[in-house]
Amino acid sequence: MLELIFSALITIIPDYLYRRYKQGKRWGKEITLFNVWYELRWGLTACAILAVSLITVIFYFHPSTQNVSAAFRTVTILSDRPGRVAEVYVANNENVTAGQAIFRLDTSRQEAAAETARRRIEEIDAALGVIETDAAAAQAQLNAAEADFRQAVDDLDRRQSLAERNNATVSEQELERLQTAVSRTDSQRAAAAAALDGIKLRQTTLLPAQRASARAVLAEAETEIQKSTVFAEVDGTVTQFLLKPGDIVNPILRPAGILVPEVSGQGRFVAAFRQISVSVIKPGMLVEITCPAKPLVVIPMVVDEVQDAIAAGQFRPGDTLIDQQDRARPGTVTAFLAPVFPAHLDQIPPGSACVGVAYSNRSQQLESGEITGFSAFLTRIVDGMGIANAIVLRAQAILLPVKSLVFN
């Protein structure tokens, strides 16, 4: 409407004044509703062209958006494993601090596994104490086997000496018996040595490994017991939390609730502009917004960052080919806004939906001489046209309470 009124002031009205006072034509006589197009054709045509051109220029260099929101992050309250709730420590909509316990799962199975691991460790420690006695007994058996072996060897050597001096004194059967006795005692000595080595191997390697394994099982069970209690990672408010003892919690299918951090989304707004504004929206650009949560107030913001990618074009591999025409929504340019005066964001809760207008400002290029001559003249005019959108935004701020409370 503002653009149309401005266009009419410099097109239709001068045309009408020319025909009224220069040509002497009068309204209601020569100029009527039936021949108004013919009489004011030049003014009407120029007005339409100028109005369309002004609207295009204004909305291109000073884009507006209906999608500005104070985005904030939430933290899902989940346990590391599924289980049945044993205790609940907080209530819904309660403020929690980092490290505060929220709820605990039943740990009967984990406690039983931990107790079994402790008994296994005690059993292995007792076995390590007993195996020292076994090692001493095996050492004694080895000593006895070595003594028997030496005795058998001495008997065999003595008989062989007698047999060499007098063959009739010692028979062949006795020598074979003594040789068999030597072989038997040697085998007994090797068996005793092997038994002693086995006991030492169990003492130094097997039982310590079993004890380490039992301790690992105990540590795993104790870790599962500790992880059964879910703690708040950050300060915030617990919402949608209606958990009761006996409920089943599953980290995939059934979360326990949502934690809204206190610092999430504070002082940062997300705005979505049309794709045609890609070349205009730049960091440092001034933006004004107005929100229903704080009516009749226009808040100055500045573009802090512009997202490089457009979300509508993202691709995720699947089992079907994607047809581009299925993407009905063209997507928008995402810009992150920061307040010029942070105090202006008081009383605007995270998640508020707002409207905004961005203003192009190329004063630095003009002052540095990057834009000169006729281009500088046009640039100043285009930058000044932002006042039209500024007036519209303030009108929206005034009418917003009326539309929300009366017409809705």
Low-confidence ranges of the chain (pLDDT < 70): 156, 158-160, 162-172, 174-175, 178, 264-266, 328
Q: Count CB atoms within 10 A of the CB of residue 331.
A: 15
Which pTM does this prediction carry?
0.66
Say whether 75-104+229-261 and 56-72+265-313+329-407 share the same fold: no
CB atoms within 10 A of CB 360: 18
pLDDT for 90 equals 92
Checking phi first, is residue 22 left (phi over 0); if not, alpha (psi -120 to 50) or beta?
alpha
Q: What is the pLDDT of residue 293?
A: 87
H or E element in which residue 52 lies: helix 41-61
Strand ordering across the sheet containing 236-239: 75-77, 257-261, 236-239, 95-96
Instruction: Look at residues 107, 141, 71 and name the one whose alpha carbon lies nearest to residue 311.
Output: 71
Q: What is the pLDDT at residue 356? A: 92
Cα-Cα-Cα-Cα dihedral of 292, 294, 300, 306, to 10°? -50
What is the rounded CA–CA span in Å between residue 186 and residue 150?
Answer: 9
Sequence-distant (6+) residues with CB within 8 A of 73 are 261, 264, 265
- The superfamily (CATH) of domain 56-72+265-313+329-407 is Efflux pump adaptor protein, beta barrel domain (2.40.30.170)
Buried residues in 119-140 as b, exposed as e (16+ CB within 10 A): ebbeebeebeeebeebbeebbe
Show me where the domains of the chain are located: 56-72+265-313+329-407, 75-104+229-261, 108-227
- The answer to whether residues 182 and 156 touch, using CB atoms and an 8 Å cutoff, is yes
User: Tens digit of pLDDT for each residue in 70-121?
Assistant: 888 888 888 888 889 999 999 999 999 988 999 999 988 889 989 999 999 8
Instruction: For residue 38, give the 3-state DSSP assignment.
Output: helix
Fold for 75-104+229-261, please state it. Answer: OB fold (Dihydrolipoamide Acetyltransferase, E2P) (2.40.50)
- Within 166-206, where are the H helices? 172-201
